[in-house]
Amino acid sequence: MNQQQAFVLVEPGLTEVRNIEVPVPGEGEALLRVSQVGFCGGDLNGYRGLFELQEYPNVLGHEIGATIEAVGPGVPSDFQPGLQVTVNPYQHCGVCLSCRKGRTNACQDNKTMGVRRPGAMTHYITVPWQKLHSSDHLSLRELALVEPLTVGFHAANRGQVTADDTVAVLGCGIVGMGALAASAHKGATVIAVDIDDDKLAIARKAGAHHTINASTTDMQAALRDLTGGDGPDVIIEAVGQAATYRAAVDAVAYTGRVVYIGYAKQPVEYATGTFVRKEIEILGSRNCLGEFPEVIKYLEAGKFPVQEVISRTVTLDEAGVALAEWSAQPGPIIKMMLDLEQN
């Protein structure tokens, strides 16, 4: 067992299944048998050539549900073969200013799996044991949802969401679902905004109290109506479009908070007087910082509509066509999952 197949993003618009070496765990590493890997919005933008951090060619995948197959020397007894785990896919440098401040999620030289180093869309990978998180209760498919949900949970934490807040989440992809689930979990009143009624119905199951279809309703007016004219205390942007970047600033309440998760694909122009007059806080949110245990505990409580958010499951042989189809019609997909047990 020296060779294995892997799903590789060769260049924008081109993928292939390649043979790569099966790794051997070194000191402090675990060999994982990968079962489920989620396709990230970053994978989609990398395929489209729109993700500035994506390096080519690269094995994709950093949303992982796996089982420990073997361990190298120095791995604690808590992490032994047979344990089901997910992986924190971020690698920080430890020396840049962000790292020195303890904000390792914003490392200036961050290397996320599948983006700036090889990812998990293959049968076996090795990772340092410190990056593993386990659960006795979650399935491998649920474990593969942990990482994208941590990104949404981190955004809610960045926005300092409390039970006193009304929070609007723009975009009900999996990260937006994580942000609205986290906000509801904190006790906030949550408004989900999207242009797809099916996604909005699932958003209600994830914790949204109100929904707005921005393709059929004036979003700004609807947000004012739902907040007594004030606007939401917090708006979390999880779309990554210039229009929604601006809309968040326009719609948020005076002295409110705007959190940006999505990467806008073009420069964003503002009427700066709006956010100066409102004295709002505009916050970036990148990756996650310590939210893995929080999300695992949340999922173990059974509060999240796991089956509903997984829109499509594909095999390794189907992955290239599926990614191209997602790029051509992204709207209906919340989460597409690669099932490596079928290859």
Shared domain for 337 and 249, answered yes or no, is no
Shared domain for 44 and 94, answered yes or no, is yes
Shared domain for 54 and 159, answered yes or no, is no
Give domain status of residue 289, yes or no. no
Shared domain for 11 and 79, answered yes or no, is yes
CB 140 within 8 A of CB 67: yes
Backbone angles phi, psi at 130, to 5 degrees: -65, -20
Residue 1 has pLDDT above 70, yes or no: no
Average pLDDT over residues 206-234: 98
Give domain status of residue 33, yes or no. yes
Backbone angles phi, psi at 69, to 5 degrees: -95, -40
Residue that the structure tokens 């949802």 belong to:
145
Shared domain for 219 and 157, answered yes or no, is yes
Give domain status of residue 146, yes or no. no
Shared domain for 94 and 172, answered yes or no, is no
Shared domain for 53 and 125, answered yes or no, is yes
Shared domain for 120 and 159, answered yes or no, is no
Instruction: Please give the full DSSP string across 116-181, using - where no structure is assigned.
Output: TB--S-BSEEEEEGGGEEE-SS--HHHHHHHHHHHHHHHHHHHTT--TT-EEEEE--SHHHHHHHH
DSSP letter, residue 33:
E
Give domain status of residue 292, yes or no. no
pLDDT band at 143, cuts 50/70/90? very high
Give domain status of residue 295, yes or no. no
Average pLDDT over residues 314-336: 96
Amino acid identity for residue 72 in this structure: G
Shared domain for 184 and 255, answered yes or no, is yes
Give domain status of residue 299, yes or no. no
CA–CA dist 71, 76 (Å, integer): 9
Backbone angles phi, psi at 127, to 5 degrees: -140, 150
Q: What is the pLDDT of residues 16-66, one digit of tens each?
A: 999 999 999 999 999 999 999 999 999 999 999 999 999 999 999 999 999
CATH code for the domain in which residue 125 is found: 3.90.180.10
Residue 343 has pLDDT above 70, yes or no: no
**In which domain, by residue range, is 322 found?**
3-134+305-342
Polymer length in residues for the chain? 343
User: DSSP H helical segments within 231-291, as ranges?
Assistant: 242-251, 272-278
Tokens of 159: 């926005």
Shared domain for 11 and 129, answered yes or no, is yes
Shared domain for 12 and 120, answered yes or no, is yes
Q: Percent of the chain at pLDDT above 70?
A: 99
Total domains present in the chain: 2
Average pLDDT over residues 71-82: 96
Q: What is the pLDDT of residues 262-314, one digit of tens each?
A: 888 889 999 899 999 999 999 999 999 999 999 999 999 999 999 999 999 99
Identify the H or E element spanning 19.
strand 14-21
Shared domain for 265 and 336, answered yes or no, is no
CATH code for the domain in which residue 202 is found: 3.40.50.720
